A and B are shown apart, each in its own frame.
Chain A
Amino acid sequence: MDCPRALRMLHRRLDDDLPDEAGQALEQHLQGCLPCRRRAGELTALTRAAVDLPEPPAPDVRGAVLDRIARESARVALPALPGGEPWWRARSFWAPTLELAAAAAMAAIALDRVLATVTPMTLWSGLASGAVSMTGNVFDLVAGEGPALLAAVLAQAAALVDMLRESVSSLGQGWDAFCQLLARASESLRTLPAVPSTAWMILVSLVPTAWVLSVGVPAPVTVFHGGRREGLS
């Protein structure tokens, strides 16, 4: 046996991975080889010292562990009712309902804001024949001086629309009816008590919040079933 092989066998012996026969061969080599015998002594001292390495005192974590288990198990999903959930409690009812309510609330605010500044008749007039002034005003607000060329193009388009309107009277009547409907709607909205914008914001933010809660908070919510814990993230 040569020394490199003896070294490998020394380590295998420390791993409890050396058959008895090989162990005897190793001992024979060590008896006749001082460097290997010295190395064997060093490795033995090293591994014995590792058994009693100094360490700080361990804290008692039992209380903290049980507290955390209790806290996390307190976040419990509503248990299923026997015979299925009633419709008024079913997630399949509330989630789309709240989604629809959130979308309707946002649409109502947007419509109110639009109608507060531009009446349907003004809007129609602007598209039909007042496009120049309207676009001019818009571009004045945005760019300061307004691109005259674009305004002229829009004026031409407005004139064309006006021609079409005049030539197709039924369409024009339809447009008028539509504008009158928008006007009535606008007036109706104006008769409603003014709702401060802050209140609108609170209302709008509550609806999506309620929707999120109804569809459930994503992990790490844990569910307790029969005393066992699932899905700790």
Chain B
Amino acid sequence: MTLPSGDDRPVDEPTLVARARAGDREAFGELVVAHQARAYRLAWRLTRDRQIAEELTQEAFLRAFSHLENFREGEPFRRWLVTIVMNLCLNEIKRKKRAAIPVDDRTVARIEGQALAGGRAGETVDAQVATRELERDLDREVANLPPKYRAAFLLRHNEQLSVQEIAGALGVPEGTVKTLLFRARELLRARLSRHLAG
């Protein structure tokens, strides 16, 4: 498996992991570059706090480095890292009881500006605006979901992990993951019916 690196050179992930295990910090640094955006994104979506998300992202990489001997060869590094990020975030949420944290308006406006700058090919302007509004409100409603529902939904539909991978990340049976996903989707569908009906 090759990874995009900071300067677009493809790097072989198993090789980087093997070198990092042997203590090669530069190799681990390349893994950090390749996965930091994903890790931060997930941490931010779960905690809704940029500073905490950055701290947890760093902590996740530190733990990954210190427990590289536990990493199974052949498994995607991304999946293992997501598990670490997930556990740190859920612990943080429990610790601070951040069950539902609305996104502040300035962050939404900034993100909206970035989102509106792009658009899906083939969409009319009206469709693009409707899509962005749905994404913005979906983002808000996802933040209001209970932590495990939020985690399951984001891992499935934002990180594109399989049910089996999510079960591993959350440490629950697959049946539980399916139940979490069912309830999360139905909750969101009910809360966003105004957008979805159009």
Contacts of B115 in A (CB 8 A): 52, 54
A53 at the interface (CB under 8 A from B): yes
How many residues of chain B have a CB within 8 Å of chain A? 61
Q: Are A58 and B138 in contact (CB under 8 A)?
A: no
Task: Indicate whether A62 sits within 8 Å of B65 (C-beta atoms), given known contacts A45-B196, A53-B139, A54-B114.
Answer: no
Among B178-198, those with CB < 8 Å from A are 178, 181-182, 185, 188-189, 192-193, 195-197
Q: Are A49 and B135 in contact (CB under 8 A)?
A: yes
**How would residues 32 to 71 of chain A score, 1 for a CB under 8 Å from any chain B CB and 0 otherwise?**
0000001101110111011111111111111011101110
**How would residues 201 to 230 of chain A score, 1 for a CB under 8 Å from any chain B CB and 0 otherwise?**
000000000000000000000100011111
Shortest CB distance A43–B (Å)? 6
Among B16-35, those with CB < 8 Å from A are 21-25, 28-29, 32-33
User: What are the nearest 6 A-B pairs in CB distance?
Assistant: A227-B23, A232-B66, A50-B157, A54-B111, A42-B196, A58-B40
Q: Are B135 and A68 in contact (CB under 8 A)?
A: no
Task: Indicate whether A55 sits within 8 Å of B111 (C-beta atoms), given known contacts A61-B58, A66-B29.
Answer: yes
CB-based A-B contact count at 8 angstroms? 137
Contacts of B135 in A (CB 8 A): 49, 52-54
Contacts of B142 in A (CB 8 A): 50, 53
Q: Are B158 and A14 in contact (CB under 8 A)?
A: no
Task: Indicate whether A58 sits within 8 Å of B114 (C-beta atoms), given known contacts A49-B131, A228-B23.
Answer: no
